[in-house]
Structure 1
Amino acid sequence: MQMTLKEYLAGLKGKTVAVIGIGVSNTPLIKMLLRAGIRVTACDKNRREDFGGLAEELESLGAGLRLGPDYLKGLDQDVIFRTPGLRPDVPELLSAQAKGSMITSEMEAFFQVCPCHTIGVTGSDGKTTTTTIIASLLKAAGYHTFVGGNIGRPLLADADGMEPDDWAVLELSSFQLMTMDLSPEIAVVTNLAPNHLDMHTSMEEYTAAKKNIFLHQGTADRAVFNYDNEITREFLEETPGRAVSFSLKQELPQGVYGKDGAIWVANDRGRRSVLPLDGILLPGEHNVENYMAAIAAVDGMVPDEVIRKFAAEFGGVEHRIELVRTRNGVRYYNDSIASSPSRTIAGLRSFPDKVILIAGGYDKHIPFDVLGPEVVTHVKHLVLTGATADKISAAVRECAEYRGEPSISQYEDFSAAVMAAHGMAQPGDVVLFSPACASFDQFKNFAQRGEAFKKIIYEL
């Protein structure tokens, strides 16, 4: 029988607890544990001065702090909450585990105590948009809905306020899923492509982590997979629950697919057209796929007319092909979320004409060879910046389709790159900031990077 949050916290009384990472998700966790009278050591690689008044606030609540480069030394607490960005096999965690420490995470604890229905969304691209669409559709249909995981707010502290008929919709990263042994009732995998290979030892490990979103389901649960993606199509044979596919390329005997300018659903109740493609406000085929994944997840719970009304009005999520401004006939789009080549390719394919592309960033050690031909096809000027500029330039110049176009320029300074793209633009052009890389060479995260781009464009 599933325990309640109060029972879970009661089980921690008298134990020592460490929370690794004092960030957006773990700060509420730390405060909740302290309010419950649990001894907590909060650990973070950042120094005290990086936290402003938060360090003093946590200490005033009773937390012990271990900050700076040695934050992982001497871990021996009874229970250790791992931040998703820390691999579970770092020597310090393995040593603590060998001594008897239990390693867990805020998300793993939430699955242990969540009293309501759950939908989990993962994939290399499209997670946030698909999660947002699913949660919004459920809300529009009248369900009390919570959104968490990689977006929204940490949900563990909210668990006692959830009712059995509510829905928790969770965006789940590979890092959160690596050690999960519980799966949501409805699992959605949007797609899979090489990503985060700076953190994962191999594509095989990355894929194995993603599988945890459905491997622990029951036979009555539902798993939604992209049939057009070679990797996720293979998951159909592995799911213990009911597998549902979606495809933009072919009609499916069972599942969600595109046909005759619309999204269709085929199931035991027959076939029906749910959503016309020209009724989707968001641009790009990848967003059609996001809607297909969402429709497969909520089929039977959200009326088709609710889906159509929402699709006609939903303008998208910030930093995802976000129209920042139109100036002198030039449209500037912020796609800072594009931290992989596949994501940038989807962005490029969203526009009918060639664009001016700004790309480059932190090196996650993933190949850019697939990006080269797409740049040749969809880009008139390529402006590169960041640690991967040389690699992306080489991928374009060395691809068989390259005949000297697009023009390629490189800038060390991010602002200089944006201004260069602006200087190249003529009325009717699109300037697309879609980096194909993570942000960590110059920015804290993709959101800060996107805000920096938007600030420059607003100030033109």
Structure 2
Amino acid sequence: MTFEEYLKSLQDKTVAVIGIGVSNQPLIQLLLSRDIDVTACDKKSREALGPLANELEAKGCRLRLGEGYLQGLDQDVIFRTPGMRPDLPELNAAVERGSRLTSEMEVFFEVCPCTKIAVTGSDGKTTTTTIIAELLKAAGKTVHLGGNIGHPLLAETGKMRPEDIAVLELSSFQLMTMTHSPHIAVVTNLAPNHLDVHRDFAEYISAKENIFTHQTAEDIAVFNADNDITLEESGRIPGRARLFSRRREVKDGVFLRGDAVTARRGSEEREVLRLSGIKLPGIHNVENYMAAIAAVDGIVPDEIIRKFAAEFGGVEHRIELVRELNGVRYYNDSIASSPSRTIAGLRSFDQKIILIAGGKDKGIPYDALGPEVNEHVKLLILCGATAGVIRHAVEQAENYAGLEVVDVNDYQEAAALAQSRAEEGDVVMLSPASTSFDRFANFMERGWVFKEIVNALK
């Protein structure tokens, strides 16, 4: 089905869009522009929406706002927001009444006319997705970047050509009900995450696997051979499996041999990149490059990969150097919303650092973080709901040797304390190991606030 055919199929139907946030606004505007009967639903009050409420109503949109925004849904088609479970009682009731439950990304996969490359995983998704997209652009391809990164793509599908490439970062929430898979799928790794929304780790893994379960024999899936879960998954896919590993050589994929990133296809292998040629710090970013190279191998020439790696400084909020003040470097790693991501950040430096951590608890274990903090941190500054959990993990670890742990009220106090204790040559890093939702709308706002505070230090 083409994009235009899909829109025409909605002309005589009623549509509900749940969530009037940034990701769904282009969809709502598109549907209204085609004179489709749209009801926009959101838990926010009319006052919280501000002028947008009047603007949408002026275009013919019905609004259903406040605590009861999910009650009585009976529209023909319901678009759920990605972070909402598809089996909520209100949604189940609507489906039983005959509604079709879908999402912006599900429809995009149905109507997108071009090749799709998609990335998922517990850590490294955004950086890997960005590297893939930028490498393809450097090779002269027209790239459409979307999913959890970039901007919503469904409203732009009509402008896409078959020779273009859509590069997508997909979360477990987007993948939960997906019935299509991309031509090239990348799974960076899997570890417990988002257990405050998923019933258990098994459901989380099952959702992630939709990125490859609907592939065909003509498709490719890239897996991390150093992760037990993804390695097992690589043995049961419909198409071709490619692996990446920094610990061992693989038969088909990308691996690290000494300080050389090496690609292999059957009996042919070649050195693509030297570690010294990667500007981004951290072994986890070497893994991100290997995953990306395995995905674009044969599409992007090696010389373009080498040139890009030497110049690319990373994505905002991912071990992002904010400033250097009095010989102290301050890093923003706000993306680190899980212990595993903070561990990767800690391992990026060859010295002990001052770490600022803590945030909202999403029901995942913190035991593994304790030993890493003891090994890589000289002063631990905690704030937020998980402060006590992190402190417990540190103090209960076998290698605990009296690391100083200080609780503070906010980032203003954390940054001031870090500055007062840091010496020339030190590294201070915000890497929360927790979600931002205790105090911020998302990890981006958290990072922006931290950068503003750091940049204001005298």
TM-score, normalised with respect to structure 1 = 0.98
- The alignment status of 1:436 with 2:433, answered yes or no, reads yes
Counterpart of 1:333 in 2: which secondary structure? strand
Residue 361 of structure 1 is matched in structure 2 by: 359
Check conservation: 1:18, 1:81, Cα contact below 8 A: yes
Q: Give the drift of 1:444.
A: 0.6
Runs of 4+ more than 2 Å apart: none
1:46 Cα offset (Å): 1.0
Gaps of 5+ in 1: none
CA distance in 2, matches of 1:99, 1:409: 54
- Aligned residue for 1:213, secondary structure, equals helix
**Equivalent position of 1:328 in the other structure:** 326
Match of 1:387 in 2: 385
Aligned position for 2:455: 458
Deviation per CA, 1:106-163: give whole Å up to 9, x if none: 0000001000000000000110100000000000001111000011111111111111
Alpha carbons 2:251, 2:266 under 8 Å: kept:
no
1:447 alignment partner, one of 429, 444, 448: 444
What corresponds to 1:275 in structure 2? 273
- Give the SS at the match of 2:211: coil
The 5-angstrom pairing of residues 289-308 of structure 1 reads: 289-308=287-306
Aligned equivalents of 1:199, 1:418: Cα separation in 2: 31
1:184-225 alpha-carbon deviations (Å, 9 max, x no partner): 000000011111000000000000000000000010100000
How do 1:23-38 and structure 2 match up within 5 A? 23-38=21-36
Query: Tell me, which stretches of 5 or more residues in structure 2 are unaligned?
Result: none
TM-score by length of 2: 0.99
The structural deviation recorded for 1:422 is: 1.9
Letter in 2 for 1:320: R
**Residue number in structure 2 paired with 1:399:** 397
Measured in 2, the distance between the counterparts of 1:40 and 1:251 equals: 53
Query: What do the CA deviations read for 1:5-42 (whole angstroms, capped 9, x no partner)?
Result: 11001101111100000111110000101111110000
- SS where residue 213 of structure 2 aligns? coil
Q: Which residue of 1 aligns with 2:262?
A: 264
Partners of 1:117 and 1:167 within 8 A in 2: yes
Could you tell me how far apart the structure 1 residues matched to 2:127 and 2:22 are?
A: 20
> Which residue in the other structure is 1:40 paired with?
38
The residue number in structure 2 matching 1:50 is 48
2:32 aligned partner, one-letter code: L
2:253 equivalent among 252, 255, 264: 255
Matched, 1:419 2:416: yes
Aligned partners of 1:262, 1:67: CA distance in 2, in Å?
55
| Partners of 1:359 and 1:433 within 8 A in 2 | yes
User: Is 2:198 the counterpart of 1:200?
Assistant: yes
State the distance in 2 between where 1:269 and 1:306 align.
Answer: 24
Q: Which amino acid aligns with 2:404?
A: S
Partner letter of residue 4 of structure 1? Answer: T
- Aligned residues of 2:70 and 2:90 also touching (Cα < 8 A): yes
Identity %: 64
Amino acid at match of 1:341: P
1:383 and 1:417 in contact (8 A); partners too? yes
Counterpart Cα distance in 1 of 2:430 and 2:263 = 35
For 1:114 and 1:268, locate their aligned partners in 2 and report how far apart those are by CA, in whole Å. 32
2:14 aligned to 13, 16, 21, which one?
16
The letter for the 2-side match of 1:432 is: M
Confirm whether residue 110 of structure 1 aligns to residue 100 of structure 2.
Answer: no
Q: How big is the shift at 1:412?
A: 2.5
1:59–1:269 distance in 2 versus 1, CA, 3 Å: farther
* Displacement after TM superposition at 1:269 (Å): 5.9
CA contact (8 A) 1:386 1:414 kept: no
Amino acid in the other structure paired with 1:189: V
Q: Does 1:181 align with 2:179?
A: yes
Root mean square deviation, CA, Å: 0.7
The reply to whether residue 151 of structure 1 matches residue 144 of structure 2 is: no
Question: What is the rounded CA distance, in whole Å, between the counterparts of 2:166 and 2:120 in structure 1?
Answer: 14
> SS of the residue aligned with 1:212?
helix
Aligned residues: 457
Quote the residue 1:89 is aligned against: 87
Match of 2:381, SS state, is strand
2:118 alignment partner, SS class: strand
1:67 is aligned to 65
Between stretches 49-58 and 99-108, larger displacement belongs to 49-58
Letter in 1 for 2:224: N
CA distance in 1, matches of 2:14, 2:252: 51
**Which moves more between the two structures, 220-229 or 232-241?**
232-241
Determine the C-alpha separation between the residues in 2 that align with 1:39 and 1:165. 33
Distance (whole Å) between structure 1 residues aligned to residue 251 and residue 178 of structure 2 = 32
